[in-house]
Amino acid sequence: MTHVFRRDPNADLPVAVRGDGIYLFDREGRRYLDACGGVVVSSLGHNHPRIIDAIKRQVDRLSYAHAGAFANEPAEELADFLTQRSPGLAYAYFLSGGSEIMEVALKTAYQYHLECGASERSLVIARRQNYHGSTLGALSITGNAQRRSIFEPLLARTPLVSPCYAYRDQRLGETEVDYGQRLARELDETILHLGPDKVAAFVAETVVGSTSGAVPPVPGYFRAIRAVCDKYRVLLMLDEVMCGMGRTGSLFACLDDGVEPDILVAGKGLAAGYVPVSAMLVTRRIHDAIKSGSGSLRNGQTFVNHPLACATALEVQKTIAEEHLVDNVRDRGQQFRALLSEAFAEHPHVGDIRGRGLFTGVELVDDRPTKRPFPARRRLHAAIKTAAWRRGLMIYPMGGTIDGTLGDHVLFAPPFISTKHDIETITETFADVVKDVFDRSVP
Ligand code: PLP
């Protein structure tokens, strides 16, 4: 009998008691290979000794000092570390989770325009299928119908444009560049339709994660989007809560797209799950408009710039940098997609293998030539999850890949410390899982 209000109160969950590298262990001693970092969080694997030591050191010195009263060294150092490596961002603000940092990003975008005398700029344009969090503001700009569904009456209406989803939406004969330009024109027309002086920001996941399965933008897409935003003084806000902090093979995913956002949010892998922490990074222009305007960022929360959280994130990021783990992310990611492509070259139900770095998606289809998805009622993603669980493989399958209802994919996010052998094991086990579901009909 549990008194924990679980997300699925009917589920009988194993009790996790220990972690070690790429593995988690439950109370019965069962071992799980964590190939998805929970929900794309555990980038350093579990129980990393260097991070545990850093946490202990910080606890011995200072755990909490309210950000309204004190600055603190870990937050200062972490802000330096991130901004110095960022695409043109100069200031950082830290909170706990991805959803709440997205709330602050929305408020900051609006406050910036307000300070510049454009208080009517209150609309945020988002993309269909992108997920930005579960709090009401973040859910309001989420374009995934399934996640919004029952809360629709509580949500603000957000104008939506198409995501960049080449596998399904790039037209026959259209180049990647032309496809990206077409999407940028769609944003341009949407801004014009809404009225440019009403739009505060455009928000997008740099590489789309949980809802569509590691979908990277086509080359040139974000540069074209940036140009449209600049044309109308609309802020470009990138959500890298899932895809950021090295996951795609660059500390910031957008570095590979040659684009500088006005606001960027990160979370999850920032402290690799050792503590909850998230970050908003903004340009000097945004910071200075508020500094020289009202002089106050209008957001007060208890755990802003938490010293223990920031010290942990700093150690995680230093470890990743000093051990050159981002290089490993790139190499292992390439290895993984090559192995998957080989294993499923002829598979009738593996439609697309995509991603960047150790952020990989496999889209499953009923018919490969026409890309026809399985009927939603088959709940293929759930069958894959069950089969993987039986084999002790933690992956992140999801339905509604295409539009929130149709489509199935599996998202992989192995730790940055994964070895060649680990990647082979993940591929082989996943191939067995796929066989269990399609060939052996294991229920
Ligand atoms: N943004 C993206 C892209 C996410 O994937 C998520 C969570 O999955 C969030 C925001 C919300 O983060 P959190 O669950 O930490 O509130």
What's the confidence (pLDDT) of residue 231?
A: 98
pLDDT digits (tens, 9 = 90+) for 432-443: 999 999 987 765
Ligand 1 within 6 A of CB of 205: yes
Q: Quick one: three-class SS letters along 92-115?
A: EEEECCHHHHHHHHHHHHHHHHHH
Q: Which residue is closest in CA terms to ligand 1's atom 13?
A: 98
For the chain, give the mean pLDDT: 97
Q: Is the per-residue pLDDT at 121 higher than 60?
A: yes
Q: Which residue is closest in CA terms to ligand 1's atom 7?
A: 133
131 vs 90: CA distance, rounded Å: 26
Q: How many domains does the chain have?
A: 2
Same domain as 249, residue 118:
yes
State in Å: Cα 413 to ligand 1 middle.
15
Band the pLDDT of 117: cuts 50, 70, 90.
Answer: very high
Band the pLDDT of 175: cuts 50, 70, 90.
Answer: very high
Same domain as 254, residue 240:
yes
Same domain as 359, residue 261:
no
pLDDT digits (tens, 9 = 90+) for 377-416: 999 999 999 999 999 999 999 999 999 999 999 999 999 9
Band the pLDDT of 90: cuts 50, 70, 90.
Answer: very high
Same domain as 407, residue 285:
no
Domain membership of residue 251 (yes or no) is: yes
Same domain as 417, residue 332:
yes
Ligand 1 within 6 A of CB of 133: yes
What mean pLDDT do residues 49-76 have? 98
Residue span of the structural domain in which 289 resides: 51-322
What mean pLDDT do residues 160-188 have? 98
State in Å: Cα 174 to ligand 1 middle.
32
Same domain as 350, residue 410:
yes
Q: Closest Cα to residue 326, out of 85, 130, 146, 140?
A: 85
Which of 268, 297, 322 represents a domain boundary (last residue)? 322
Domain membership of residue 11 (yes or no) is: no
The enclosing domain of 93 has a CATH number of 3.40.640.10
Same domain as 330, residue 318:
no
Q: Is the per-residue pLDDT at 44 higher than 80?
A: yes
Same domain as 428, residue 280:
no
Q: Which residues contact 151 (CB under 8 A, 6 or more apart)?
A: 136, 139
Domain membership of residue 10 (yes or no) is: no
CB 85 within 8 A of CB 79: no
Same domain as 317, residue 416:
no
pLDDT digits (tens, 9 = 90+) for 141-152: 999 988 999 999
Domain membership of residue 8 (yes or no) is: no
Domain membership of residue 358 (yes or no) is: yes
State in Å: Cα 239 to ligand 1 middle.
9
Ligand 1 within 6 A of CB of 267: yes
Ligand 1 within 6 A of CB of 242: yes
What's the confidence (pLDDT) of residue 442?
A: 61
Domain membership of residue 9 (yes or no) is: no
Which of 307, 322, 337 represents a domain boundary (last residue)? 322
378 vs 133: CA distance, rounded Å: 27
Same domain as 85, residue 73:
yes
State in Å: Cα 64 to ligand 1 middle.
25
State in Å: Cα 442 to ligand 1 middle.
32
What's the confidence (pLDDT) of residue 78?
A: 98
What mean pLDDT do residues 30-43 have? 98
Dihedral Cα 215, 207, 199, 193, nearest 10 deg: -20
What's the confidence (pLDDT) of residue 214?
A: 98
Which of 271, 299, 322 represents a domain boundary (last residue)? 322
Same domain as 156, residue 66:
yes
Q: Which residues contact 128 (CB under 8 A, 6 or more apart)?
A: 143, 144, 160, 161, 162, 163, 403
What's the confidence (pLDDT) of residue 443?
A: 57
Domain membership of residue 6 (yes or no) is: no
CB 102 within 8 A of CB 241: yes
pLDDT digits (tens, 9 = 90+) for 247-306: 999 999 999 999 999 999 999 999 999 999 999 999 999 999 999 999 999 999 999 999
What's the confidence (pLDDT) of residue 440?
A: 74
Q: Which residues contact 321 (CB under 8 A, 6 or more apart)?
A: none
What mean pLDDT do residues 94-112 have? 98
What DSSP state is assigned to residue 157? Answer: P
Token digits of residue 50? 């260097």
Looking at the CA of residue 205, tell me the nearest atom of ligand 1: 3
Question: pTM to 2 decimals?
Answer: 0.98
- In the chain, what percentage of residues exceed pLDDT 90? 97
pLDDT digits (tens, 9 = 90+) for 216-263: 999 999 999 999 999 999 999 999 999 999 999 999 999 999 999 999
What's the confidence (pLDDT) of residue 1?
A: 83
State in Å: Cα 242 to ligand 1 middle.
6
C-alpha pair distances (Å), 373 with each of 401, 407, 439:
9, 5, 18
Angle at 403 between CA 402 and CA 408, to 5 degrees: 40
Same domain as 331, residue 271:
no
The enclosing domain of 419 has a CATH number of 3.90.1150.10
What's the confidence (pLDDT) of residue 218?
A: 98
Mutate to test the pocket of ligand 1, among 7, 94, 100, 132 (most ligand atoms within 8 A of CB): 132
pLDDT digits (tens, 9 = 90+) for 309-349: 999 999 999 999 999 999 999 999 999 999 999 999 999 99
Band the pLDDT of 70: cuts 50, 70, 90.
Answer: very high
| 327-349 CB burial, b ≥16 within 10 A, e <16 | ebbbbbbebbbebbeebbeebeb
Q: Which residues contact 385 (CB under 8 A, 6 or more apart)?
A: 395, 397
What mean pLDDT do residues 94-123 have? 98
Ligand 1 within 6 A of CB of 99: yes
Ligand 1 within 6 A of CB of 359: no
Domain membership of residue 4 (yes or no) is: no
What's the confidence (pLDDT) of residue 347?
A: 97
Q: Quickly list H helices, 4-135.
A: 37-40, 49-61, 73-85, 98-115
Would you say the C-alpha torsion 52, 58, 63, 65 has a positive or negative sign?
A: negative
DSSP for 256-274 reads GGT---SEEEE-GGGTTTS
Looking at the CA of residue 240, tell me the nearest atom of ligand 1: 3
Looking at the CA of residue 135, tell me the nearest atom of ligand 1: 16
